[in-house]
Amino acid sequence: MKNLITKMTALTLAAGLAGQAAAEEWNVSVWGKRRAFTEHVEKLAELLSAKTNGEFTLNISYGGLSKNTENLDGISIGAFEMAQFCAGYHPDKNRVITVLELPFLGVQTLEQEVAVSNAVYAHPAAAAEMAQWNAKLLMTSPMPQYNIVGTGTPRKTLSDFEGMRVRATGGIGKAFKAAGAVPTSVTATEAYQAMESGVVDTVAFAQHAHLSYGTINQADWWTTNLNPGTVNCPVVVNIDAYEALSDAHRDALDSSVTEAIDHYLANYGKLLDRWESVLAEKGVEKVEIADDVISSFRAKASDPIRDGWIADMEAQGLPGQELFDLVQSTLAAAKASN
């Protein structure tokens, strides 16, 4: 009897240890505060916990683990298991996905942004480059086309852009530079202070960021249709952590991505619906840029920047033309399906 009790106790302890081993908590590094831009990460945490009966959880930290510009570095050394970053923060580290930040690509909806991002993320060149940082591309953070808020007299023509100090990163920054503006790449969390202190005259953001970072509170005007492009901000996971997951937990993660993105799109749609009321409430003038101005802007910024990007990528041994063509063919297919 004594031996039987001993064996049963050992089995109970072993089962308990196995249960502990099965439990998984990942640290996730994002920044700012919970907002439309992070809703897919929040939904992913909810889905994982539900699908695994609480055995796989995400500990989402808003700035407590790393600076937003250092999240990819943190992933590379295993400081945390999941993170969000924007390609424009360090284009030399994620050259392939910067194709998605080229100006005037023609993306019109968030669904189209998801489609082109998924296509590029699935390209072998993107996977290989991210693997250098021990990172696996998990999902995008689709954002609408950027527009600018500013103070004082609205900027309506290309000559108005001359000397304009604008917070803009990546391809959008290059587009404004081509039009004579002076872009600065202060991070999103620094944009309000930069605007308040006069470091910049204008800030280019998607709607959610103008709300989240308070730039709309200082704005006298907002461009409704400039639409020079957007930024690409993937969510990545540490490859070692991903491969160490049990099959069940890995399946739960992979199968939750589409659901998380669908939730993100629905939530962002609600934000866009109330954007007009926010502008009216704060007395922000809506500035519509004339078609001929946009055409001139595109001529200065689109073709030269695109051609330069392709040449630069090809010189570095990356398939620049192939990646750009992939974006265009995917976008055409997405528009046709609508």
Instruction: Report whether 190 contacts 178 (CB < 8 A).
Output: no
pLDDT at 221: 97
Grade residue 20 by pLDDT with cuts at 50, 70 and 90.
very low
Whether the per-residue pLDDT at 15 is higher than 90: the answer is: no
Distance of CA 231 to the CA centre of its chain: 7
Half-sphere exposure of 186 (CA within 13 A, CB side): 20
pLDDT digits (tens, 9 = 90+) for 153-191: 999 999 999 999 999 988 899 999 999 999 998 888 899
How close are the terminal C-alpha atoms of the chain, in Å? 72
**What would the 3-class secondary structure string for the chain be?**
CHHHHHHHHHHHHHHHHHHHHHCEEEEEEECCCCCHHHHHHHHHHHHHHHHCCCCEEEEEEECCCCCHHHHHHHHHCCCCCEEECCHHHCCCCCCHHHHHHCCCCCCCCHHHHHHHHHHHHCCHHHHHHHHCCCEEEEECCCCCCCEEEECCCCCCCHHHHCCCEEECCHHHHHHHHHCCCEEECCCHHHHHHHHHCCCCCEEEECHHHHHHCCHHHCCCEEECCCCCCCCCCCEEEEHHHHHHCCHHHHHHHHHHHHHHHHHHHHHHHHHHHHHHHHHHHHCCEEECCCHHHHHHHHHHHHHHHHHHHHHHHHHCCCCHHHHHHHHHHHHHHHHHHC
Distance CA 147, CA 298 (A): 14
pLDDT digits (tens, 9 = 90+) for 313-338: 999 999 999 999 999 999 999 999 97
| CB-count burial class (<10 Å; 0-12, 13-18, 19+) for 18 | exposed
pTM (two decimals): 0.85
pLDDT digits (tens, 9 = 90+) for 287-302: 999 999 999 999 999 9
Distance CA 309, CA 335 (A): 25
CATH of domain 25-142+231-271: 3.40.190.170
pLDDT at 170: 83
Whether the per-residue pLDDT at 16 is higher than 90: the answer is: no
Specify the domain boundaries for CATH 3.40.190.170 within the chain.
25-142+231-271, 147-230+275-337
| Beta strands 235-238 and 135-139, pairing class | antiparallel
Distance CA 77, CA 263 (A): 31
Domain covering 147-230+275-337, topology: D-Maltodextrin-Binding Protein; domain 2 (3.40.190)
pLDDT at 12: 47
